[in-house]
Chains A and B, each alone.
Chain A
Amino acid sequence: MAHGEFPRYVAHTTLLVLIAASLAGCGNPESDSRTLFLALETPPNKIDPALAVDVAGGQIVSLIYQGLVRFSPEGKLEPDAATAWEIEDDGHRYVFTMDRQARFSDGSAVTAGDVVSSFERVLAPRSLSSRRWVLDRIRGAGEFSDGKTASVAGLSTRGDSTVVIELAEPFRPFIELLGMPAARIVHANSGPATGESTDSIPVGSGMWMLGDWRRGDYVSLVPNRHHPEHARNIDEIRYRIIPQAFTRIAEYESGTLDILKIPLAELDRYLSDPANSEFIQSRPELRVLYIGLNTQRGPLKDVRVRRALNMAVNVDQIIEVLTGGRGVRATGSVPPTLGGYEERDAYPYDPQGARRELSAAGFPEGFSIEVWQRDSPDGNRIVEAVQGYLREVGVEVRIVKREWSAFKEAVGQGKVDAFFLDWYADYPDAENFLFPLFHSANVGGGGNRAFLKNADVDALIERSHALTDPEEAWAVYAETDRMIYDLAPWIYLYFPRSFVLVSPRVLGYVYPALYLGEDFSTIQKN
Chain B
Amino acid sequence: MLKYTVKRLLFFVPILLGVATVTFFLIYVLPGDPVLSMVGERYDQETIDQLRAEMHLDRPIWVQYGHFIAALARLDLGTSYVTGEPVWDSVRERFPYTFRLALAAMLISVLIGVGVGVVAAWKWRTPFDYLAMGGTVVGISMPVFWLGVLLIYFFSMKLHVLPASGYGDGSIRYMVLPAFTLAQASSAYVARMTRSSMLDVIREQYIQTARAKGVSEVKTIFGHGLRNALLPVITVVGTDFGSFLSGAVLTESIFAWPGLGRFTLDAILKRDIPAIQGAVLFMAALFMTVNLVVDLAYAWVDPRIKLDRDEEAG
Interface residues of A (CB under 8 A from B): 3, 6-7, 14, 17, 21-22, 24-30, 42-43, 45-46, 51, 53-54, 128, 130-133, 195-197, 214-218, 240-244, 246-247, 250-251, 253-256, 402-406, 408-410, 412, 436, 442, 445-447
Contact = CB atoms under 8 A, between A and B. Distances in A.
Contacts of A196: 79, 84
B165 A406 contact: no
Given A45-B82, A253-B157, A447-B41, A17 B169 contact: no
B31 A410 contact: yes
Given A29-B163, A442-B42, A128 B54 contact: yes
Interface residues of B, number: 68
B178 to A, nearest CB: 11
A225 to B, nearest CB: 25
B166 interface: yes
A436 B163 CA distance: 44
Contacts of B82: 45-46
B26 to A, nearest CB: 14
B47 A24 contact: no
A445 B43 contact: yes
Contacts of B160: 254-255
B306 interface: no
Given A6-B227, A242-B165, A247-B164, A197 B85 contact: yes
A45 B83 contact: yes
Interface of B: 30-34, 36-45, 47-48, 50-51, 54, 79, 82-86, 90, 93-94, 107, 111, 149, 152-153, 156-157, 160, 163-174, 222-223, 226-227, 253-256, 258-259, 262-263, 266, 269-271, 300-301, 303
A22 B171 CA distance: 10
15 contacts: A3-B303, A28-B169, A128-B54, A130-B38, A130-B43, A131-B40, A217-B167, A217-B258, A218-B166, A240-B256, A251-B164, A405-B37, A405-B270, A436-B41, A447-B41
A215 B223 contact: no
Contacts of A133: 42, 44
A215 B258 contact: yes
Given A7-B222, A250-B153, A409 B33 contact: yes
B32 A215 contact: no
A404 B40 CA distance: 11
Residue of B33, B41, B93, B270 most packed against chain A (CB within 10 A) = B41
A405 B164 contact: no
B164 A250 contact: yes
Contacts of A128: 38, 50-51, 54
Contacts of B300: 3
B169 to A, nearest CB: 5
A350 to B, nearest CB: 34
B173 A27 contact: yes
Contacts of A53: 38-41
B175 to A, nearest CB: 9
Contacts of B54: 128, 195
